[in-house]
Amino acid sequence: METKDLELQRNRLRIYAMKLFGLQLSPAASMFGEIAQVLGHINQQQLKAALKLQETFRGNGRSVPRLGEILLEQGLLDDSQLETVLDEQTRLSSTIDDTEETRLANLASRARRLQLQKESKEISGN
């Protein structure tokens, strides 16, 4: 597995864990930036500059462009990269929006696996 794939998987798990434990999630614009960064399309400095530009629009009372539009306009993303980031953002959002029953079932399943691991260790004497 490539480093980018591992980082993306780690980011997915972090976001899911935050939602599961009721912690505050990043706003969608920030999530877009985090995903673009994890995919290696932009760096931290470029993300901060684009977010600052977005705030400038907001402070001037003007229509605020989306982060992807800013990055596209600046030539930091191409159409294909923008589409990839948006697809991943949509996929992550749908993961975050899992029903309560699904989350509880996942927790119950994990608890059963941990209990089985504990019993297995006790039987083997470790």
Distance CA 62, CA 54 (A): 10
Output the six-digit token pair for 45. 């400095």
d(CA 18, CA 2): 24
CA 84 from centroid of its chain's CA atoms? 13
Look-up: residue for tokens 């995903």?
Answer: 35
Q: How confident is the model at residue 29 (pLDDT cuts 50, 70, 90)?
A: very low
CB-hemisphere CA count at 13 Å for 58?
Answer: 8
Q: At residue 98, does pLDDT exceed 60?
A: no
Mean pLDDT of 86-105: 69
Mean of per-residue pLDDT scores for the chain: 79
